C-alpha cells in the first residue's frame, strides 16, 4: 500500500442490515435450562457463540434417551451443519476441551472445522485450579463470625484466578500463546515463580512449579487445538456480512454477573447479555432478540443470599422432582419460590424481549404456589427493586402473592390455552409482573416437551 493511503476494510454491509441475532441468557442464578433452549433455537441460526465463563458451566441437552452435558463447547455442536465459536470472553481449560472432544466424538458428534476458539481467550492453567481450591479452603477455615464464611462455593474450575490474571495482564496466558512454545515458556518462567509463592501464602505445600514441563505440556495441547484457534472476531463479522444468524449462548447467569449480580457471591465474568460485545467483538445493537431463561421456581448453587429459599421439606421436594443436582459438580442445588423481583431486574439489565419459562412441570401437585413480588426491608418498608449487593439482599424478607396450584401432569400438554386454568394464571401473573411475554414454556427436558408461542414444538431433525 503506498505510504499515506488508507484503505478502509471492506465493510460494505453493516451488522444492522443483517437479520437479528439472538441471545440466550439465564435470568436467575444458573441452570435455568439454557442448554435445552439453545438446542431448540439452533435450527433457526447458523453460528452458536459462547461469550463468557468456562468449564464452570454445565448445559444439558436431552435428545430422546440421550443426555449430553456440555461445559465449554457450545450446545450447537450437536448439529453437524452449524458453526460453533468459543469467543474471547471465555476462559478455556484446554484439558477440559480436549476431554469434551473425546466424550462427544465417542458418541458420534462431529468436531472439526465447525468449532473455532478465539486466540484471545484466556487459558485456565493447572495453578489456577489449585489457587481456586486453595483460596476457598483458606477462606472457609479462616473466616467465621458475624458475617459468616467468606468462601463463595465456587466450582473450583479455576475461573476466578484465570480472569484475575486477565485483568492483571502481565501473568496472563492466552490461547494464541499456546501456539508459540518459546514465548509460552518465557512467560511461564516468571509466572511459575510468582505462582509458587502465592500458593505457599495460601498454605499449599507445593513443589516449585516447573515452567519447562508446563510449557511443553500446554504447547502440546496448543498443537492439538491449532486447527481451531483463530481470530474469531473477524470470523463472526464475516459470518454476519454473509447473512448468517448468530445465537449467543450465555453461561452462568445474570445474577452471577460480576458487575450486576449478587456480589461478591458471583462468578468472575459478565454473564448477562452485557458481556456479549466484550466477549465476542460483536456490537450489542446487532442483537435483535434476547430470550431470558427462567425456571418456574428459583435455584442457586454455592453460597450467597437467596431470599425465597425453601430450606425445608418443600424445597427438598422441588429438588427431587426437578433433579436439581449440579451438572458440573453434582452439588445439590438450593431451591425456593420464584423471585420475580430478581427476574424483573435481570430482564431489565439483559434487555429481554421474551422469556422461556422452564421446568414448569415440576410445580404440578402443589396445593398453592407463591410468587415473590416485593421485598420487605429491615425498616419495615417495601420495595420492588432488586438489591444486588449481597449484604443488603441478605436482610430482606420476601413478600409473596399466593396462587392456587394445579395437580395435572403438564409434560404432554399440547397447547398453552389448554393448560389447567391455575397454571395459565401463574404464567400470566409472571408476564404482568416482569412486563415481558413468555414465548416458550418448557414442560420436560426433551425438545418436544416444549410450547413455543403457545404451541407444542415439533420434533426436530437431528444429526
Ligand atoms: P443450564 O445450565 O441452564 O443449561 O441448565 P442445566 O442443564 O444445568 O440444568 C437444567 C436441568 O433441567 C437439566 O437437567 C435439563 O435436562 C433439565 N430441564 C430443562 N428443561 C426442563 C423442563 O422443562 N422440565 C424438566 N423436568 N427438566 C428440564
Ligand atoms: P450454568 O451455565 C450454577 C456459581 C458457583 C458459585 C459461583 C462462583 O450451568 O448455569 P465459579 O466457579 O464460577 O467461580 O463459582 O457461581 N456458578 C454457577 N451456578 N450454574 C452455573 O453455570 C454456574 N457457574 C457458576 O456455584 O456459587
Ligand atoms: Mg448448568
* Residue 13 domain-assigned (yes or no): no
Ligand 2: distance of its center to the CA of 57 in Å?
6
Domain range for 137: 122-228
The residues carrying an active-site annotation are: 31, 59
Q: What is the pLDDT of residue 3?
A: 47
The string of pLDDT tens digits covering residues 78-95 is 999 999 999 999 999 999
Among residues 350, 119, 352, 114, which one has the least CA distance to residue 239?
A: 114
Ligand 3: distance of its center to the CA of 325 in Å?
9
* Residue 6 domain-assigned (yes or no): no
* Number of structural domains the chain divides into: 2
Q: Is the dihedral of CA 352, 354, 359, 365 positive or negative?
A: positive
* Residue 5 domain-assigned (yes or no): no
Q: Whose CA is nearest to atom 1 of ligand 1?
A: 31
Q: What is the pLDDT of residue 461?
A: 47
The string of pLDDT tens digits covering residues 279-300 is 999 999 999 999 999 999 999 9
Task: Based on the fold, state whether residues 414 and 337 are members of the same structural domain.
Answer: yes
Q: What is the pLDDT of residue 12?
A: 41
Task: Based on the fold, state whether residues 330 and 443 are members of the same structural domain.
Answer: yes
Task: Based on the fold, state whether residues 271 and 315 are members of the same structural domain.
Answer: yes
Q: Is the pLDDT of residue 103 over 50?
A: yes
Ligand 3: distance of its center to the CA of 60 in Å?
7
* Residue 461 domain-assigned (yes or no): no
Alpha-carbon separation of residue 307 from 134, 153, 320, 376 (angstroms): 29, 18, 21, 10
Domain stop point among 228, 254, 281:
228
Task: Based on the fold, state whether residues 103 and 127 are members of the same structural domain.
Answer: no
Q: Is the pLDDT of residue 2 over 50?
A: no
The CA-based dihedral angle spanning residues 259, 261, 265, 271, taken in that order and rounded to the nearest 10 degrees: -80
The cell numbers describing 14, all together, are 453493516
Task: Based on the fold, state whether residues 304 and 342 are members of the same structural domain.
Answer: yes
Task: Based on the fold, state whether residues 256 and 273 are members of the same structural domain.
Answer: yes
Task: Based on the fold, state whether residues 211 and 244 are members of the same structural domain.
Answer: no
H or E stretch covering 196: helix 181-201
Residue by residue, DSSP assigns 421-450 as HHHHHHHHHHHHHH-S-EEEEE-SSBTTSE
Mutate to test the pocket of ligand 1, among 24, 29, 36 (most ligand atoms within 8 A of CB): 36
Domain stop point among 228, 259, 285:
228
Phi and psi (nearest 5°) for 338? -70, 125
Mutate to test the pocket of ligand 2, among 50, 256, 323 (most ligand atoms within 8 A of CB): 256
Q: Which of 11-25, 270-284, 321-335, 392-406 has the lowest mean pLDDT?
A: 11-25
CATH number, position 218: 1.10.300.10
Q: What is the pLDDT of residue 145?
A: 54
Task: Based on the fold, state whether residues 47 and 181 are members of the same structural domain.
Answer: no
Task: Based on the fold, state whether residues 29 and 126 are members of the same structural domain.
Answer: no
Q: What is the mean pLDDT of residues 59-66?
A: 93
Q: Are 62 and 36 in contact (CB under 8 A)?
A: yes
* Residue 15 domain-assigned (yes or no): no
Q: What is the pLDDT of residue 148?
A: 63
Q: Whose CA is nearest to atom 10 of ligand 2?
A: 30
Phi and psi (nearest 5°) for 83? -95, 145
Q: What is the pLDDT of residue 16?
A: 41
CA distance 196 to 167: 20
* Residue 11 domain-assigned (yes or no): no
Q: How much of the chain is in helix, strand and coil states, percent to nearest 5? A: 35, 20, 45
Mutate to test the pocket of ligand 2, among 55, 75, 154 (most ligand atoms within 8 A of CB): 154
CA distance 408 to 364: 6
CA distance 408 to 365: 7
Q: What number does the ligand 1 atom closest to the CA of 442 have? A: 23
Q: What is the pLDDT of residue 221?
A: 98
The average confidence (pLDDT) of the chain is 93
Q: What is the pLDDT of residue 1?
A: 40
Query: Predicted confidence band at 77 (pLDDT cuts at 50, 70, 90)?
Result: very high
Q: Is the pLDDT of residue 146 over 90?
A: no
What's the distance, CA 421 to chain centroid?
33
Q: Are 431 and 437 in contact (CB under 8 A)?
A: yes
Q: Is the pLDDT of residue 17 over 70?
A: no
Q: Is the dihedral of CA 362, 365, 371, 375 positive or negative?
A: negative
Q: What is the pLDDT of residue 147?
A: 54
Domain stop point among 228, 254, 277:
228
* Residue 462 domain-assigned (yes or no): no
Residue 227 makes CB contacts below 8 A (sequence gap 6+) with 112, 113
Please name every residue paired with 61 in a beta bridge, in sequence order, or none if there are none: 68
Give the burial class of 367: count Cβ atoms within 10 A of its Cβ; 0-12 exposed, 13-18 middle, 19 or more buried. exposed
Task: Based on the fold, state whether residues 189 and 57 are members of the same structural domain.
Answer: no
* Residue 14 domain-assigned (yes or no): no
Please tell me if the CB atom of residue 261 comes closer than 6 angstroms to any atom of ligand 2. Answer: no
Q: Is the pLDDT of residue 227 over 50?
A: yes
246-249: strand order across its sheet: 229-230, 115-118, 83-86, 47-50, 246-249, 21-26, 287-295, 354-358, 438-442, 450-452, 455-456
Ligand 1: distance of its center to the CA of 58 in Å?
10
Task: Based on the fold, state whether residues 198 and 164 are members of the same structural domain.
Answer: yes
Residue by residue, DSSP assigns 41-92 as HHTT-SEEEE-S--TT--EEEEETTEEEEESSS-GGGGSTTSEEEE-TTSEE
β 83-86/115-118 pair status: parallel
CA distance 449 to 319: 20
The ligand that comes nearest to the alpha carbon of residue 301 is: 2
Q: What is the pLDDT of residue 15?
A: 42
CATH number, position 94: 3.40.440.10
SS3 of residue 404 by DSSP: strand
Q: What is the mean pLDDT of residues 186-191?
A: 96
Task: Based on the fold, state whether residues 59 and 167 are members of the same structural domain.
Answer: no
The ligand that comes nearest to the alpha carbon of residue 53 is: 2
The proportion of the chain whose per-residue pLDDT surpasses 90, expressed as a percent, equals 87
Q: What is the pLDDT of residue 18?
A: 41
Amino acid at each position: 500500500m503506498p505510504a499515506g493511503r488508507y484503505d478502509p476494510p471492506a465493510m460494505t454491509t453493516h451488522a444492522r442490515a443483517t437479520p437479528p441475532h439472538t441471545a440466550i441468557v439465564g435470568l436467575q442464578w444458573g441452570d435455568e435450562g439454557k442448554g435445552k433452549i439453545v438446542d431448540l433455537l439452533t435450527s433457526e441460526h447458523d453460528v452458536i457463540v459462547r461469550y463468557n465463563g468456562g468449564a464452570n458451566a454445565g448445559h444439558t441437552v436431552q435428545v430422546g434417551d440421550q443426555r449430553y452435558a456440555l461445559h465449554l463447547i457450545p450446545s450447537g455442536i450437536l448439529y453437524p451443519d452449524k458453526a460453533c465459536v468459543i469467543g474471547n470472553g471465555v476462559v478455556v481449560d484446554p484439558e477440559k476441551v480436549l476431554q469434551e472432544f473425546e466424550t462427544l466424538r465417542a458418541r458420534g458428534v462431529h468436531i472439526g472445522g465447525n468449532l473455532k476458539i478465539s486466540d484471545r481467550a484466556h487459558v485456565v492453567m493447572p495453578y489456577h485450579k489449585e489457587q481456586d481450591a486453595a483460596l476457598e479452603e483458606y477462606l472457609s477455615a479462616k473466616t467465621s463470625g458475624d458475617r459468616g464464611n467468606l468462601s463463595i462455593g465456587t466450582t473450583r474450575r479455576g475461573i476466578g484466578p484465570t480472569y484475575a490474571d486477565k485483568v492483571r495482564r502481565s501473568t496472563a496466558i492466552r490461547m494464541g500463546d499456546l501456539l508459540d512454545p518459546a514465548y509460552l515458556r518465557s512467560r511461564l518462567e516468571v509466572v511459575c515463580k510468582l505462582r509458587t509463592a502465592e500458593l505457599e501464602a495460601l498454605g499449599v505445600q507445593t513443589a516449585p512449579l516447573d515452567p519447562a514441563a508446563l510449557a511443553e505440556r500446554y504447547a502440546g495441547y496448543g498443537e492439538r487445538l491449532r486447527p481451531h484457534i483463530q481470530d474469531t472476531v473477524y470470523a463472526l463479522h464475516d459470518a454476519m456480512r454473509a447473512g448468517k444468524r448468530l445465537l449467543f449462548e450465555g453461561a452462568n447467569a445474570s445474577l452471577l454477573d460480576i458487575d450486576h449480580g449478587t456480589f461478591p457471591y458471583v462468578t468472575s465474568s459478565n454473564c448477562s447479555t452485557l458481556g456479549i460485545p466484550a466477549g465476542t467483538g460483536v456490537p450489542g445493537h446487532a442483537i435483535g432478540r434476547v430470550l431470558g431463561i427462567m425456571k418456574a421456581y428459583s435455584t442457586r448453587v454455592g453460597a450467597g443470599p437467596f431470599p425465597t429459599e425453601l430450606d425445608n421439606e418443600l424445597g427438598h421436594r422441588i429438588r427431587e422432582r426437578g433433579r436439581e443436582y449440579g451438572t458440573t459438580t453434582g452439588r445439590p442445588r438450593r431451591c425456593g419460590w420464584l423471585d420475580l423481583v430478581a427476574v424483573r431486574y435481570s430482564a431489565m439489565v439483559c434487555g429481554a424481549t421474551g422469556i422461556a419459562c422452564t421446568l414448569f412441570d415440576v410445580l404440578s401437585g402443589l396445593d398453592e404456589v407463591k410468587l415473590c413480588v416485593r421485598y420487605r426491608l429491615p425498616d419495615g418498608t417495601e420495595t420492588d427493586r432488586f438489591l444486588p449487593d449481597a449484604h443488603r439482599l441478605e436482610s430482606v424478607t420476601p413478600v409473596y402473592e399466593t396462587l392456587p396450584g394445579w395437580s395435572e401432569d403438564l409434560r404432554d400438554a399440547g397447547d398453552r390455552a389448554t393448560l389447567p386454568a391455575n397454571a395459565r394464571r401463574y404464567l400470566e401473573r409472571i408476564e404482568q409482573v416482569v412486563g415481558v411475554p413468555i414465548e416458550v414454556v418448557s414442560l420436560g427436558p426433551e425438545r418436544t416437551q416444549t410450547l413455543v408461542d403457545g404451541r407444542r414444538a415439533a420434533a426436530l431433525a437431528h444429526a
